[in-house]
Amino acid sequence: MSGHGDPIPMTSRKCGPLNGEAHVPGDKSISHRSLILGAMTVGETKVTGLLEGQDVLDTAKAMQAFGAQIEKIGDTWHVHGVGVGGFAEPDNVIDCGNSGTGVRLIMGAMATCPITATFTGDASLNKRPMARVTDPLALFGAKAYGRSGGRLPMTIIGAENPVPVRYATPVPSAQVKSAVLLAGLNAPGETVVIEREATRDHSERMLAGFGATISTEDTPEGHVITLQGRPEFTPQTIIVPRDPSSAAFPVCAALITEGSDVLVPNIGLNPTRAGLFFTLQDMGADLTFENMREEGGEPVADLRARFSPDLKGIEVPAERAASMIDEYPILSVVAAFAEGKTHMPGVKELRVKESDRIDAMARGLRGAGVRVDEGEDWWTVHGLGHGNVPGGFTAETFLDHRIAMSFLILGMASNAAMSVDDGQPIATSFPIFESLMGALGAQIERT
């Protein structure tokens, strides 16, 4: 439930080299899914490395409200689930805080149970579009009643007799895909999702891990995922890998801050998530993947990022967008320190995240002296080169953690300090951001 306390203004000023190791928290996408799938499985699922950010804590609370028992003992989260189709009706409104992933996946998971639940969130989440999820959930037989424009608060009446669904997603969204797959778990027969562009595949991998029969195939129609309903789930022991979307912040900070050399160990390089790192390499970043290995069926590496004074602006391939969708705000900061233009097409989805991320970044970058051009589904940052970014501005963060972290990192290398009006949302995904960056040598203060 972020955004409920007083704003936390923060300032970041030019710092010396960033050095050392950055142990970033667990993956947010995998953390949500561990709790939700654990709650849908009879028996005890054990999770270590869970991201204890507010978004995930809100999902844990929600799963308790649907009948799962969840407790943390030592470093391990123990989830005693109720089984597929076994969710109890919550006796109060479910508050998913700031989390699109939380609310959309949970709506999917409960939509084929014979119960009713009402969902709400903070001022950011209550502006975000939910019809993208409730449209396919209606095909299973669920009903949704929300505010105009398909916004939260919203009540979902789960289907009494769910039918399986075949659905082509109209937007590239792992949240929509996952909501349909989770709903399909309690529908007898085969649920099929077709994506035009493949999005992050954590749900598919984890559903298979819990014991579902699920297959994926690339066809002329697109990326086709087929799930058999009513599986026998087996409880799992899950080690959540570290989050590449959080790793992006210390990596990018090191690239733009003079003299830096930072190691970010144990980062999952699932190809559906790693687009930013290849983009940075294309820009000429001194970024290497050390100790490449496989863990839990996923490629993992230690990322080493060193100060890169000669970054060049590039055309970011539109087909890479889904694999780096949450990383465009921090990429635009790196682009400001590169020579020449960085053009980012095919990113309409950025307009419906925790904030309109193109608008939020464009406002703050312009305030910091950087030219930005934008259209509905593209934007271009005109890089000034290292040492030439003025800074000296207070950016509005619009309840968006990634906007707040991005501008604090800009301030580490801009000529004048950068401030943000509210750093509170950082706790949704990266609660140790300030201490981790401070230990590397950053100068971030609450102001």
Q: How far apart are CA 94 and CA 107, in angstroms?
A: 10
- Given phi > 0 = left and psi -120 to 50 = alpha, else beta, which region is 280? alpha
Candidates 101, 236, 246, 419: give the one binding ligand S3P (CB under 6 A): 101
Is 99 or 112 the residue whose CB approaches ligand S3P more closely?
99
Residue 228 labeled ligand binder: no
| CA-closest candidate to residue 11, choices 418, 345, 383 | 418
Question: Where is 305: in which H helix or E strand?
Answer: strand 298-306
Residue that has been written with the tokens 């005109």 in this structure: 382
Tell me whether residue 61 is exposed, middle or buried, using C-beta atoms within 10 angstroms of its C-beta: 0 to 12, 13 to 18, 19 or more.
middle
Residue 147 labeled ligand binder: no
Instruction: Please say if 326 is a catalytic residue.
Output: yes
The number of beta carbons lying within 10 Å of the beta carbon of residue 356 is 17
Say how many residues make up the chain.
447
414 binds ligand S3P (CB under 6 A): no
Q: CB of residue 98 vs ligand S3P: minimum separation in angstroms?
A: 11
Is 101 or 414 the residue whose CB approaches ligand PEP more closely?
101
Q: Is beta strand 43-48 parallel, antiparallel or unpaired with respect to 76-81?
A: antiparallel
Of 95, 326, 400, 422, the active-site residue reads 326
Q: What are the CA-CA distances from residue 243 to residues 206, 261, 266, 307, 406 (Å)?
A: 16, 20, 9, 22, 16
Q: How far apart are CA 379 and CA 349, in angstroms?
A: 12
Q: How far apart are CA 149 and CA 158, in angstroms?
A: 20
- Indicate the residue whose CB is closest to ligand PEP: 100
Q: Is beta strand 416-420 parallel, antiparallel or unpaired with respect to 391-395?
A: parallel
Is 146 or 162 the residue whose CB approaches ligand PEP more closely?
146
Residue 124 labeled ligand binder: no
175 binds ligand S3P (CB under 6 A): yes
Q: CB of residue 419 vs ligand S3P: minimum separation in angstroms?
A: 25
Q: What are the CA-CA distances from residue 418 to residues 236, 367, 409, 437 (Å)?
A: 44, 10, 9, 15
402 binds ligand PEP (CB under 6 A): yes
Enter the tokens of residue 301: 């590496």
Q: How far apart are CA 152 and CA 111, in angstroms?
A: 16
Residue 354 binds: one of ligand S3P, ligand PEP, none (C-beta under 5 to 8 A by kind) = ligand PEP
Residue 33 labeled ligand binder: yes
100 binds ligand PEP (CB under 6 A): yes
Residue 349 binds: one of ligand S3P, ligand PEP, none (C-beta under 5 to 8 A by kind) = ligand S3P
349 binds ligand PEP (CB under 6 A): no
Contacts to ligand S3P from residues 257-296, by CB under 6 A = none
200 binds ligand S3P (CB under 6 A): yes
Candidates 201, 243, 354, 396: give the one binding ligand PEP (CB under 6 A): 354
Q: What are the CA-CA distances from residue 369 to residues 111, 260, 266, 366 (Å)?
A: 48, 24, 36, 5
Q: CB of residue 316 vs ligand PEP: minimum separation in angstroms?
A: 17
34 binds ligand S3P (CB under 6 A): no
Q: How far apart are CA 7 and CA 13, in angstroms?
A: 20
Contacts to ligand S3P from residues 308-347, by CB under 6 A = 325-326
380 binds ligand S3P (CB under 6 A): no
Q: Is beta strand 190-195 parallel, antiparallel or unpaired with respect to 166-168?
A: parallel
Across 1-35, b (16+ Cβ under 10 Å) vs e yields: bbbeeeebbbbbbbbebbebebebbbbbbbbbbbb
332 binds ligand PEP (CB under 6 A): no
Residue 47 binds: one of ligand S3P, ligand PEP, none (C-beta under 5 to 8 A by kind) = none
Q: CB of residue 353 vs ligand PEP: minimum separation in angstroms?
A: 4
Is 31 or 380 the residue whose CB approaches ligand S3P more closely?
31
Candidates 127, 429, 441, 444: give the one binding ligand PEP (CB under 6 A): 429
Residue 12 labeled ligand binder: no
Residue 132 binds: one of ligand PEP, ligand S3P, none (C-beta under 5 to 8 A by kind) = none
What does the binding site for ligand PEP look like in residue numbers (CB under 6 A)?
A: 99-101, 326, 353-354, 402, 429
Task: Give the residue ranges of the annotated binding site for 3-phosphoshikimate.
Answer: 28-29, 33, 173, 175, 326, 353
Residues annotated as catalytic (active site), given as ranges: 326
Task: Give the residue ranges of the annotated binding site for phosphoenolpyruvate.
Answer: 28, 100, 128, 175, 357, 402
Task: Give the residue ranges of the annotated binding site.
Answer: 28-29, 33, 100, 128, 173, 175, 326, 353, 357, 402
What does the binding site for ligand S3P look like in residue numbers (CB under 6 A)?
A: 29, 100-101, 173-175, 178, 200, 325-326, 349
